[in-house]
Amino acid sequence: MSFGSPYVTLPDFTYHRPKSLDEVLALLKEHGDEAKLMGGGVGLIAFMKERLMSPTHVIDVKEVAELGQVRQVPGEGLRIGAAVSIAELLEGGDLKTEQAVLREALARVADPMIRRRATLVGNLCEAIPWVDSPPALMALDASVEVAGPEGRRSLLVSDFIRGPVDIDLGPNEMVTEVVVPESKGRRSAFEKFTGGSEFSLASVAVSVSNGGKKRAAKLVYGAVNSTPVRCPEAERLIEDGLSPTKVRRAAETASEKVECLDDVLATASYRKHLIKVITTQVLWRMM
């Protein structure tokens, strides 16, 4: 990842490798704004090389055993610790059919080497508009568990991401887990278009659940605006089932209604075209 800066070295910092959550929280309390947490370090180290971040203390959470677990909690869902790498999550087999959208999104993150280091929590906390996990997590109504000096709190991923590179987290707080709720009978899928870039130019995460009498659908678009965006108008068209006509109408509606941005990677109008293409692809696959 390079933003064109001439730096190849890291700024000076003190590296911490705590063994327990209490130690991590104590280090955050001690160093506050001066510290940055590190999961896989894929994003953090790149940002530090570019001098986009210059923490004087880096707190590596990979050795904290309680953050390295994936737990299936009956009646609650799947709890994924902050030190679990994307590769471990994919290989562990914990992502079931109803979480297919997350499995498909993570399987296409970067390359095997990066997936071995990078964590799901790090990917989410980066909150760069074009990373892939946030739309998938939002489609599954996932939440994050936050620990800090005031205790613990839980919030939906959709509330956690406030803006580009902006998450709802205090300087002394950390994310300990991502929680994907149980949802029997849910079907979900992910699609993205990169056009040879490192990152998505547009992505879509879909989930359709059959809870009770009414089906509910979510269509969450990533990489098209500063945060992931849903398209309720297109969701209504597919909540009672999919057919070729519904797929075409949903794809056209999403392309028309989802607000897109111009940036260095693509124009807004190209992104609108991509939305139509990837929505058709992903829904066709789910028919």
Ligand X SMILES: Cc1cc2nc3c(=O)[nH]c(=O)nc-3n(C[C@H](O)[C@H](O)[C@H](O)COP(=O)(O)OP(=O)(O)OC[C@H]3O[C@@H](n4cnc5c(N)ncnc54)[C@H](O)[C@@H]3O)c2cc1C
| Positions that interact with ligand X (CB under 6 A) | 1, 36-44, 46, 61, 82, 109-110, 114, 117-119, 121-123, 125-126, 131-132, 169, 174-175, 198-199
The phi and psi torsions of 184 (rounded to 5 degrees) equal -65, 140
**Given the complex with ligand X, which of 35 and 231 has the nearer CB atom?**
35
Q: What's the half-sphere exposure (Cβ side, CA atoms, 13 Å) at 258?
A: 37
CB of 268 to ligand X, least distance (A): 21
**Given the complex with ligand X, which of 61 and 275 has the nearer CB atom?**
61
**Given the complex with ligand X, which of 110 and 261 has the nearer CB atom?**
110
CB-CB neighbours of 33 under 10 Å: 9
CB of 174 to ligand X, least distance (A): 4
**Given the complex with ligand X, which of 117 and 248 has the nearer CB atom?**
117
The phi and psi torsions of 57 (rounded to 5 degrees) equal -130, 130
User: At which residue do the structure tokens 């997936």 appear?
Assistant: 115
**Coil, strand, or helix at residue 105?**
helix
CB of 213 to ligand X, least distance (A): 36
Crossing angle, helix 268-286 and helix 244-257, to 10 degrees?
A: 160
CA distance 176 to 157: 13
CB of 198 to ligand X, least distance (A): 4
Q: Which residue sits closest to ligand X, CB atoms considered? A: 122
**Given the complex with ligand X, which of 112 and 244 has the nearer CB atom?**
112
**Given the complex with ligand X, which of 13 and 239 has the nearer CB atom?**
13
Helix residue ranges per DSSP H, 231-267: 232-238, 244-257
Amino acid identity of residue 59, one-letter, is I
CB of 109 to ligand X, least distance (A): 4
CB of 108 to ligand X, least distance (A): 6
Radius of gyration of the chain (CA): 19
Residue 196 per-residue DSSP state:
T
